[in-house]
Amino acid sequence: MELEPIKVGLLGLGTVGAGCVNLLKDNAEEIERRAGRKIQITHAAVRDLSKERPCDTSGIRMTANPMEVVEDPEVKVVLELIGGDEEAFDLVMAAIDSGKHVVTANKHLIALRGNEIFAAADEKDRVVHFEAAVAGGIPIIRAIREGLAANTIEWLAGIINGTGNYILTQMSNEGETFADALAEAQRLGYAEADPTFDVEGIDAAHKLAILASIAFGIPLSFDKISTDGISKIADEEIQFAEEMGYRIKHLGIARRNDRGVELRVHPTLVSDQALLASVEGEKNAVMVYGDAVGPTVYYGAGAGAGPTASAVIADLIDIVRIVSADASGRVPHLAFQPDQLSESPIVDSDDFFCGHYFRIQVADEPGVMARITGLLAQFGVSIEHILQKDPENAGDDALVIIVTKPVREGLLMQALEHIQQEAFAREGTVHLRVAQFDD
Ligand code: NAP
Ligand code: HSE
């Protein structure tokens, strides 16, 4: 017997929402074959009803009141694609309350309010899927939650913000300015409504909170993530790093160490031979190390209409399958059973363990280099690379650029503090971290 089409309500018809309408239309036949029945977008809420949409809205009831969509008894699944963590939260909770399943691409919402949302969904026996919230079109949540479920995950690291990676790539390959590259990322639909989320690392931290929770079975811990963005990366850093065989990538890193879990998001030097170094433009890549499987890598488009819609619609198909069959066997939202979350401490940045890059301007005098290397040695910091440059418009000063071997961050910081207190040291030391992965 043929099942009735399932009716879906859309909240938001911007880059991702319109991408979803187009994808459902373009691949309707294939999607129906996978889902087992037709899927119809019947309702859509937007802010501005007069705006032209890059998709066919015929047959869709348009409204400027999203609650109307959420409360309509015809709608069985709500796709939340408006963003933010306030109105979106109220809408998602109302949707769950009125018995609807939810798909969201909103990492901000999941990272900050996921615990409340999942509890409400469990209470009502509803599904909330959020594959598109992390790494756009890459099915990284399913990979960790299901594909790697037999492993103890030791670490994961990746490029998880498409806008940031696009900007760094354009600066490095095309010599574009930061501002121009950001404007282009916005035009292409990669950036968040507030692009400071992209360039200050907040968006990546939202995503890392979700990945770490799924990987390690810890509560969503956005506020404990050490977060730094790319906005302060100067052209010189890109150039000096490249001279020493590195590329600067903005990474999210979650790693178990003997004191707990490191959670950090920051610009990072990676060897130009490393896999992550070759990830360019809006592409994302996530490496996940499981104790049984070893290193695994997931690569693809991390932002944009098509890739994000790919993940949203896959979630929708999964829900349609559940609705059409039996919901009891579904996978827990954060991979682990809700009562099985552990309280692993999130370690302080002093206990991070990695290599470091720093650039310091110094008086170009005899003995300065020896004093710097001596202080590093005193704190147990070994040097991997060292470079001296003459800065422009800085008289007799020199620039010393050093890449260290991996060391506990607290020790490096103490050494750096001592170096900065020396009379030869000028203000404005630049510090970045270096990552090394067994890929
Ligand atoms: P967008 O282009 O700005 O679209 C947002 C849509 O939501 C617009 O159609 C807007 O209406 C509508 N909207 C906003 N507030 C509303 C309200 N109060 N009531 C009704 N409609 C409202 O954003 P987007 O890029 O599609 O992103 C949507 C979500 O997906 C965000 O959570 C984002 O983080 C996430 N995401 C985006 C990407 C990407 O590549 N863009 C990738 C992964 C995840 P109007 O059009 O009338 O203004
Ligand atoms: N602004 C986000 C990014 C969208 O650039 O990665 C995808 O989550």
Question: Tens digit of pLDDT per residue, the chain (439 long)?
Answer: 678 999 999 999 999 999 999 999 999 998 988 888 899 999 999 999 999 999 999 999 999 999 999 999 999 999 999 999 999 999 999 999 999 999 999 999 999 999 999 999 999 999 999 999 999 999 999 999 999 999 999 999 999 999 999 999 999 999 999 999 999 999 999 999 999 999 999 999 999 999 999 999 999 999 999 999 999 899 899 999 999 999 999 999 999 999 999 999 999 999 999 999 999 999 999 999 999 999 999 999 999 999 999 999 999 999 998 888 755 444 556 757 677 788 889 999 999 999 999 999 999 999 999 999 999 999 999 999 999 998 777 788 999 999 999 999 999 999 999 999 999 999 999 999 999 775 4
pLDDT for residue 315: 97
Q: Is 15 in the pocket of ligand 1 (CB under 6 A)?
A: yes
Q: Is 12 in the pocket of ligand 1 (CB under 6 A)?
A: yes
What does each C-alpha distance from 316 to 130, 347, 435 come to in angstroms?
A: 10, 37, 36
Q: How far is the CA of 32 from the centre of ligand 2 (A)?
A: 28
DSSP H or E segment with residue 8: strand 6-11
The count of other CB atoms within 10 Å of the CB of residue 180 is 13
* DSSP letters for 312-326: HHHHHHHHHHHHHS-
Tokens standing for residue 269: 């030097």
pTM for the model = 0.90
Alpha carbon distance 354, 351 (integer Å):
10
> Identity (one letter) of the amino acid at 369?
M
* DSSP letters for 9-20: EEE--SHHHHHH
State which ligand 2 atom lies nearest to the alpha carbon of 282: 5
pLDDT for residue 1: 66
pLDDT for residue 138: 98
CA-proximal residue: ligand 1, atom 21 (nearest): 46
State which ligand 2 atom lies nearest to the alpha carbon of 107: 8
Positions of E strands within 195-292: 226-227, 246-257, 260-271, 283-290
pLDDT for residue 55: 97
Ligand closest to Cα of 307 equals 1
Alpha carbon distance 17, 100 (integer Å):
18
* Residue 205 · residue 225 · CB < 8 Å: yes
State which ligand 2 atom lies nearest to the alpha carbon of 185: 5
Q: Is 193 in the pocket of ligand 1 (CB under 6 A)?
A: yes
Q: How far is the CA of 73 from the centre of ligand 2 (A)?
A: 32
State which ligand 2 atom lies nearest to the alpha carbon of 192: 1
Alpha carbon distance 190, 183 (integer Å):
10
Pocket test for ligand 2, best of 110, 131, 140, 163 (most atoms within 8 A of CB): 163
Pocket test for ligand 2, best of 106, 161, 286 (most atoms within 8 A of CB): 161
Alpha carbon distance 354, 406 (integer Å):
4
Half-sphere exposure of 23 (CA within 13 A, CB side): 22
Q: How far is the CA of 241 from the centre of ligand 2 (A)?
A: 25
Alpha carbon distance 350, 364 (integer Å):
31
* Residue 241 · residue 357 · CB < 8 Å: yes
Nearest CA among 345, 352, 341 for reference residue 260? 345
User: Which residues surround ligand 2 with Cβ inside 6 Å?
Assistant: 136, 161-163, 190-192, 198, 203, 302-303
User: Which domains does the chain show, CATH number per domain?
Assistant: 6-137+305-340 (3.40.50.720), 140-301 (3.30.360.10), 353-435 (3.30.70.260)
pLDDT for residue 73: 96
- Alpha-carbon torsion (307, 255, 248, 196), positive or negative: positive
Q: How far is the CA of 81 from the centre of ligand 1 (A)?
A: 5
* DSSP letters for 148-161: TTTSPEEEEEEE--
Pocket test for ligand 2, best of 190, 199, 210, 310 (most atoms within 8 A of CB): 190
| Torsion region of 306: left, alpha or beta (phi above 0 gives left; psi -120 to 50 gives alpha) | alpha
Radius of gyration of the chain (CA): 24
Phi, psi of 101 (to 5 degrees): -85, 155
What does each C-alpha distance from 4 to 7, 36, 182 come to in angstroms?
A: 9, 10, 45
* Residue 214 · residue 151 · CB < 8 Å: no
Q: How far is the CA of 11 from the centre of ligand 1 (A)?
A: 8
Nearest CA among 428, 429, 287 for reference residue 357? 429
Q: Is 66 in the pocket of ligand 1 (CB under 6 A)?
A: yes
Q: Are strands 397-404 and 283-290 parallel, antiparallel or unpaired?
A: unpaired
Helix (H, G, I), strand (E, B) or coil at 351: helix
Q: How far is the CA of 104 from the centre of ligand 2 (A)?
A: 14
- For residue 40, the cross-strand partners are 7
Q: Which residues contact residue 400 at a Cβ distance below 8 angstroms, ignoring those fewer than 6 apart?
A: 359, 360, 361, 362, 368, 369, 372, 386, 387, 388
Q: How many residues does the chain have?
A: 439
pLDDT for residue 337: 63
Ligand closest to Cα of 108 equals 1
pLDDT for residue 342: 83
Alpha carbon distance 24, 32 (integer Å):
9
- Catalytic residue numbers read 207
Q: Is 16 in the pocket of ligand 1 (CB under 6 A)?
A: yes
What does each C-alpha distance from 417 to 149, 203, 226, 355, 420 come to in angstroms?
A: 43, 30, 20, 17, 5
